[in-house]
Structure 1
Amino acid sequence: KSIFLCAVNYGKQDLITFYTDPLNRYTVILYGYIASFDLLEAELRQSGVKPETDLMALILQAYKVSTPDFVDYLRGNFSLVIADSVNGNVYLAKDHFGSCPLYYSDRMRNGVRFFGSNIPAMAEHPDFEKEFNPEPLAYYLSLEYNPMPESFWRKVYSLRPGHWALITDDEVREEAYFKASFTPDERSLAEHAEEICQVVRESVGSYIKDDKAGAYLSGGVDSAFVTVLAQPEDIFSIGYEGYTGIFNEAEQARSLADTHGMKFHSASVSGREYLDALLHTQQKLNEANGNLSTVALCLLGKLVDERVSCILTGDGADEFFGGYDSYLGLSRKKQLYKGIVPASMRSFISSRIKSDIPYYSRASSIKHCGMKASQYFFGTNQIVNPAIVDHLLKEEYMPEKSLEEYFAAFYQEHAAEDELTQKMLLDINFILPGDMCVKQDRMANAYNLQLRTPLLNKSVFETARTIPSHLRVSDSESKIPFRQAAGQVLDQKWIHHRKLGFPVPFRYYLQDKTIAQPLYDILRDPLTERFFRRETIDRYLDEHMEQARGRHTELYLIVAFMLWYKENFTDWS
């Protein structure tokens, strides 16, 4: 019943905290950051137990005297491992929203079971059975990440957010200690905004009580709110040479830094620099990720270098408070359309519109007006329609379940919720831990930085969950109460900034033959044909180069996947 402990990082080892009890029976491994544990101390006192003063000793104490759900009383961004050398049991836990990676495996060679934050490091062990799992590939092409518990590495699973697992000689028992849900109350918008401001202020304070912190600052209200409350000495942003507006959020970030007297650092990235970074970003990931901003975060990590030891971000506000455009109420034209055209006719019109159209297009919006959310919404980050995936991916790699069938269980569980709440809960349970947190954590870790996300705090969510749907968003504005709360510390021009999130001009980089040749080589590599249809790749590349139709999204997903696959499952030579 041998178990191999693997908690290796790309960064410094001090990003992980180790603790062993005086009898050398238990080993506790903490990855990430615990912002507060006073609730756990109170729970132990209520049980008649005097809490340990050291955090790691306190965690072990709670594990021994309490239930496995004790992690519900911790606040922070963390994954946790407790190994018992006497009976061989291993306890794993992830924070409420899955901020930090944690994987475990089935038994492999010689009965060894692996667990840790870094799968490629596990794969270096001689008992690790290295096998590619193609099942998530079609889902990745639509969503830019793998939504399944089993990873792209066969027999290796991601522990779900808000869950703990107990690994014994006989089984792996995984259970939820927390499930996100919304319970709206009848308070006014102003009352909600006041509470949000207070709880966010308290959460940010608990995340900066030690260490030298910096902050990533985009042009949005989330990161600006956190930054102004935290008042870090250094803030960091990114822009792209030759581009302004949405492709250069550093312009807005600099104005905030100047207003509040912070040191501002910005990376001005050329197309060649971005593509060079792209070629080396996937090797830092446990699984393939097709989000363009992952490379931007990698470049930001390089910019930070040794200036600070931890980085604050504004992640979590969009999912908790309703910040994405996909959450917004229907536009007036859509409202008129739905008011005039009967549901049966809208459904018929929807059925007549082709499926292989860009996901975010006018035709797609009309199509969705005749559908339920469960038929088309599989996450805010869905960027490629499943019908397009059918053209791209070879038939032998198509999954047994369509996206609609895969997420059917989720929609059935939340059938009583309104459409906005369904969408937000889907993103909280899938997109947030599977994509958003992954790209932030891995890219920070690659440059020895500890990532801290004070909005991804259960205390903040407990406030967000009380806001009724009609107050969260309007036809044209997202996360309304959150913006009003931020208005107590930010200028009015900031609180209405449109969400961007470090957008990248990759569409234009791919058309530039002077810098994009390495990407063309990957797309034309015979190995790429193992998974993808050659005729479709060539047609999409021609359409994009001739500016007949933007195909950069689909082509980027292929490039990112092949870079990751080659890094982990083939010899580069």
Structure 2
Amino acid sequence: MCGLLGFLTSNGTTPDGVSAVDAAMHCLRHRGPDEHGTWHDDDLIFGFNRLAIIDIAHSHQPLRWGPPENPGRYALTFNGEIYNYLELRAELADEHGAQFHTEGDSEAIVAAFHYWGPNAVTRLRGMFAFAIWDTDTRELFVARDQFGIKPLFFATGPNGTAFGSEKKSLLELASLIGIGTELDPRAIEHYTVLQYVPEPETLHADIRRLESGSYAHLKPGDVPEITRYFTPKFRVRPFTDGTAAARYKEIAEALEDSVAKHMRADVTVGSFLSGGIDSTAIAALAMRHNPKLITFTTGFEREGYSEVDVAAESAAAIGARHIVKVVGPEEFAAAIPEIVWYLDDPVADPALVPLYFVAKEARKHVKVVLSGEGADELFGGYTIYREPLSLRPFERLTPGLRRAAARLSDRMPEGRRGKSLLNRGSMSLEERYYGNARSFNDAQLRAVLRDFRPEWTHQDVTAPIYAQSEGWDPVTRMQHLDLFTWLRGDILVKADKITMANSLELRVPFLDSEVFRVAEQVPLEQKITKDTTKYALRQALEGIVPGHVLHRAKLGFPVPLRHWLRGPELFDWAHQQIADSQTDHLLNKAAIKDMLDDHRTGRTDHSRRLWTVLVFMIWHGIFVEERIVPNIQEPAYPISL
């Protein structure tokens, strides 16, 4: 787990370019405080900060490797972990005579690329963003993992193409690349609706992301030629009375194998534990490989939030040592500028704040943690996935009756019972569902954004994804959409950026190719029932997850944001953020103040909408106005823990 940065020039490297890349690497120190390295030749500059996890004493980067006849042919920078690297090394040695000089996973990537070409990425079980430079062909190959666990930003200008683990490092190289730093108004509108910036966009017009499940080739002077190598598809295989038990066992065995491989490390591995089924399953399986496992959770100084107690009960049931971090509203607010700096682009998910604090606490004890991200998207865990069941009666309505339902909903006052049901029932799945984040409707967006463009909608993002799932059942289509939107736009961004802010590696065993292979076959009735979600997964985890958790609703790290924004905890803080922000040309601050005042009365819950604009204002204050200067500490951790 590390931070990489590179620059492929159009006209040859220069000493100024090498020094610029080296200086920009300082933005990534938190991603790799253990080692720093650079390498360059006439066309390419690599920079690297390492968080040493496997083969600590060797496996330095940038790494040089080649076949025996040309041992220095390739140079590699690699962020992530390959969990089947031992199996790959053995296969490459047996079939091709590949030779290795370290005990790590980095050489397995380069050797696989040499012998198998770009298809090597389909053989990697893990999380990765890497770049391989072929000094013979003068070609660069860059790739991201199937689900987008590890990030990779890139920018192409007249002077070349830069790529890196974080956008802020590319902003440092803007003049070297020859790009501008103007904002992208379409991306701003997408963020305001979705609460995250969807791939491949960023809020800076000239910087983009290599999408999940994609790789790119480029040579000096070229633009990246991008290829998608992985598109998740759900190939349902019906359950029968005679096969159900075997299918549940198959799910449990795939997850157990994934956790076993995710435990591979030369440092201590812990686990996050929220009290829900996903993180508890991961921790329980991890205990089989490390009986001294430490689990971590976080909570808030407010009555009525019991996830801390549930997590503690779960830790006791599986026999793990458990550590709790409790966060107060003042501590919460004070950390937000620092967190937003680490994020690169705003993500309006308040759960990333408690994640930041629990990651900071975990880093005092371990260097790697496991977590349960991805289970909901793979096995059907979100409550919203039950919506198609409640809306089935509307499917029988004619288009005219649906339009009448929409008009009736429009005439009903906010908060009136049935208004939301009529509104949702009047729309098709493609119109109403754009992921777990539901923030501003068009009327609210028009009031808040100065440059509202009705032609820019969530369907810019979702329509191409929905086109891939024609004919699938609606719940599976929602899962598929979330794999491309909510998962990689929100869940995995905060998982990567917030843990790496604390030089902590987070691993997600559910997001494994073999786990997905069994998950994609689960039919609708084994995912969503009238009583529960993730039905097949819950059945598979009988005997692994303690009974008090097995059928419990999803918890996560809930934040009392609605309460805090109404009271002394955060109301004054929010009011001051709005007043200080220099975003009048982008946002209607008067409308936002009205929204805050309305929220305070308790008439309407605007907490998520308010949080969306507040996070953007803080982001703008850091990266555009430079009015806010976060207190970023230089990481100082031991090389192993």
**TM-score normalised by L of structure 2:** 0.83
Task: Compute the displacement of 1:160 (Å).
Answer: 1.0
Deviations 1:132-161 (A, max 9, x none): 223211111121111141311222111111
> Which secondary structure state, in structure 2, belongs to the residue aligned with residue 229 of structure 1?
helix
8 Å Cα contact 1:136/1:399 also seen in 2? no
User: Which deviations, in whole Å up to 9, do the C-alpha atoms of 1:70-110 show, x marking residues without a partner?
Assistant: 111010122111123455432111111000111111125xx
Q: Identify if the C-alpha distance between structure 1 residues 77 and 365 changes in structure 2 by more than 3 Å, giving closer, same or farther.
A: farther
Q: Give the superposition deviation at 1:223.
A: 0.3
Pairing 1:174-323 to 2, within 5 Å after superposition = 174-188=226-240, 189-210=244-265, 211-231=267-287, 233-244=293-304, 247-323=305-381
| 1:11-410 alignment, distance < 5 Å | 11=31, 12=33, 13-15=49-51, 18=61, 19-21=63-65, 24-37=72-85, 40=88, 44=92, 48-53=95-100, 54=102, 55-85=105-135, 88-107=138-157, 111-125=159-173, 126-128=175-177, 129=179, 130-169=181-220, 170-188=222-240, 189-210=244-265, 211-231=267-287, 233-244=293-304, 247-328=305-386, 337-338=393-394, 344-354=400-410, 362-395=418-451, 398=453, 400-410=455-465
Are the counterparts in 2 of residues 359 and 383 from structure 1 also a CA contact under 8 Å? no
Deviation at 1:405, TM superposition (A): 4.4
Q: Distance in 2 between matches of 1:123 and 1:402?
A: 27
Q: CA deviation at 1:416?
A: 1.9
The percent identity for this pair of structures is 25
Paired with 1:56 and 1:173, the residues of 2 have a C-alpha distance of 24
Shifted more, 209-218 versus 508-517: the winner is: 508-517
Judged with a 3 Å threshold, the aligned counterparts in structure 2 of structure 1 residues 237 and 361 are, in CA distance, closer, same or farther, namely farther
Give 1:446's match in structure 2, choosing from 501, 523, 532: 501
Q: What is the aligned partner in structure 2 of residue 10 from structure 1? A: 30
Higher relative contact order (CA 8 A, sep 6+): 1
Question: Conserved in 2, the CA contact under 8 Å of 1:217 and 1:236?
Answer: yes
How many angstroms apart in 2 are the aligned matches of 1:82 and 1:156? 21
Give the TM-score, by structure 1 length: 0.92
Distance in 2 between residues matched to 1:359 and 1:444, nearest whole Å: 38
Give yes or no for contact 2:317–2:546 (8 Å, CA) kept in 1.
no
Instruction: Report whether the alignment pairs 1:546 with 2:605.
Output: no
Q: Which residue of 1 aligns with 2:537?
A: 482
Task: Check the 8 A contact 1:358/1:385 in 2, yes or no.
Answer: no
Mean alpha-carbon deviation: is it higher for 505-514 or for 251-260?
505-514
CA distance in 2: counterparts of 1:344 and 1:486, whole angstroms: 46
Unaligned ranges ≥5, structure 1: none
Q: Is this contact kept in 1: 2:465–2:484, CA < 8 A?
A: no
Q: Give distance in 2, aligned partners of 1:323 and 1:193.
A: 16
- Matched residues in 2 for 1:551 and 1:481: separation? 36
- Please identify, of 130-139 and 380-389, the stretch whose mean Cα deviation from structure 2 is larger: 380-389
Give the match for residue 45 of structure 2.
none
Distance 1:72 1:359, change over 3 A: farther
State the 1:295 CA deviation. Answer: 0.9
2:263, 2:235 → 1: CA distance? Answer: 30
CA offsets 1:373-397 (integer angstroms, 9 cap, x no match): 10111112233334422221112x5
- Corresponding residue to 2:567 among 512, 521, 526: 512
Question: What's the offset of the Cα at 1:527?
Answer: 1.0
- Identify if the C-alpha distance between structure 1 residues 193 and 383 changes in structure 2 by more than 3 Å, giving closer, same or farther: farther
Distance 1:180 1:358, change over 3 A: farther
* Deviates further, 183-192 or 547-556: 183-192
CA deviation vs aligned residue, 1:23-42 (integer Å, no higher than 9, x gap): 55422111111111366458
SS of match in other structure, 2:440: coil
Deviation at 1:516, TM superposition (A): 4.0
Residue identity opposite 2:82 in structure 1: I
Contact 1:331 1:476 (8 Å CA) reproduced: no
Give the aligned length.
565
Flag the 1:514–1:98 CA change in 2: closer, same or farther, 3 A: closer
Measure the CA separation in 1 of the matches of 2:351 and 2:415: 19
Using the TM superposition, give the Cα deviation of residue 475 of structure 1 relative to its aligned residue in structure 2, in angstroms.
2.4
CA gap of 1:475–1:370, structure 2 versus 1, over 3 A, is farther
Cα 1:63–1:376 shift into 2, 3 Å: same
Equivalent residues in 2 for 1:493-532, closer than 5 Å = 493-513=548-568, 515-525=570-580, 527-532=582-587
Q: For structure 1, which segment, 151-160 or 433-442, has the greater mean C-alpha deviation from structure 2 after superposition?
A: 151-160
Q: How many Å separate the matches in 1 of 2:285 and 2:581?
A: 52
Deviation by residue 1:512-538 (Cα, 9 ceiling, x = unmatched): 236543321111235131211133112
